[in-house]
Amino acid sequence: MSSRIKAIVLYSLYFTFSRSHCPTRTSFIFFHYIWYFLLTFIAIRCMEPLSMEETYPGQTKQRKYDRRAFLAKSLTFLAGTFVGLDFFRPMQAGAETTFPRIALIIDDIGSSVSRARAFAALGIPITFSILPQLRYSRVLAQEMDTMGHEIMLHQPMEPYCHELDPGPGAVYISYADMEIEEIVKENLAQIPEATGVNNHMGSRFTSCPRKVLQALKVIKENDLFFVDSLTTCHSKAYTMARRLHMRTAPRNIFLDHDPDLSSIRLQLRRLKAHALTYGAAIGIGHPHIPTLAALHEFKWELEDQESTLQLVPVSRLL
């Protein structure tokens, strides 16, 4: 195999891997330079001997390779990229600039029409996670979907605290596998607008890999994504969803675990900082009045500062 073909294969692998595994600009730059050194080394090792002869019809052509010169030119190119003296066309020239993105999920929708409509009236992309089998679950799913908002099923799951009731349509670790599957299917049938699922409570259920796997299988069969609300640090839901090759992500920030306005403002600042650092962030809130007020302020803050942050449905981050 010639050196040119080897180089094409190596760089094809590089571009494929880097674009699929480096979602942020920082990680891509780091990955780019690590692989640049590696591929330069491989390219040098793959070169033909320092001198060789190629015989063509009627003539003999002498070719010489100088590995030191090749390495010097490579290092010059690398140094040039650091100071902006890149004489090659950028790999993603003309590609759309990717700004840090934030997804806002509002849980526990289904018991109050006025609260849900108030959040929808904010005029920002919000993913509404709707509890099953409540009085207004079906109506609000249809209404929010018609307004262009993303809909999720807020699947109730067993918590560690037995005094907490996750509500109707909940799954428990004591249930048989078939029973868990049937309950999740029934809940999804109630909210056909749902494009994904996240857990309501579920600290105990999500800590049991075998049981949470049964629920995730149903979600995957319906081609839905899953967001792990991370109600416990022992949750295995995200890990199991990854094993099933599902579109999935964990929650990054709870906005209103403390439903005080000043506390929610602080959590929104943390959510913003997370997005700026890692390129994306998922925040989960609830239909509380202080949360509504804080999100209204957050909306105007982003607009007044002409922020590069983008608010998007959660599916855009998966």
Domain-located, residue 294? yes
Check residue 4 and give its pLDDT.
53
Q: Are residues 168 and 284 in the same domain?
A: yes
Pair 24, 157 in one domain: no
Q: What's this model's pTM, rounded to 2 decimal places?
A: 0.72
What CATH number should be reported for the domain holding residue 182?
3.20.20.370
Give residue 69's pLDDT band: very low, low, confident or very high (50, 70, 90).
Answer: low
The Cα–Cα gap between 116 and 110 comes to 8
Residues 28 and 118 in one domain: no
Reported confidence tier of residue 5, pLDDT bands at 50, 70, 90: low
Strand pairing class (225-228; 196-201) = parallel
Structural domain contains residue 75: yes
Type of residue at 51: S
Question: Domain check: are 238 and 114 in the same one?
Answer: yes
Q: pLDDT tier at 52 (50, 70, 90 boundaries)?
A: very low
* pLDDT averaged over every residue in the chain: 83
Q: What is the separation, in whole angstroms, between the first and last Cα of the chain?
A: 39
Q: What is the mean pLDDT of residues 40-54?
A: 52
Residue 89 lies in a domain: no
For the stretch 249-282, pLDDT in tens is 999 999 999 999 999 999 999 999 999 999 999 9
In this structure, of 56-60, 159-163, 191-195, 249-253, the range with the lowest mean pLDDT score is 56-60
Question: How far is the C-alpha of 298 from the C-alpha of 295, rounded, in Å?
Answer: 5
- How many independent structural domains does the chain possess? 2
Residue 95 covered by a domain:
no
Q: Are strands 280-285 and 253-254 parallel, antiparallel or unpaired?
A: parallel
- Domain region containing 267: 101-317
Residue 92 resides in a domain: no
| Domain finish residue from 83, 115, 150 | 83
Read off the pLDDT band of 98 (50, 70, 90): confident
Find tokens 């979602």 and name the residue: 23
- Do 240 and 206 reside in the same domain of the chain? yes
124 and 186 co-located in one domain: yes
Co-location of 153 and 179 in the same domain: yes
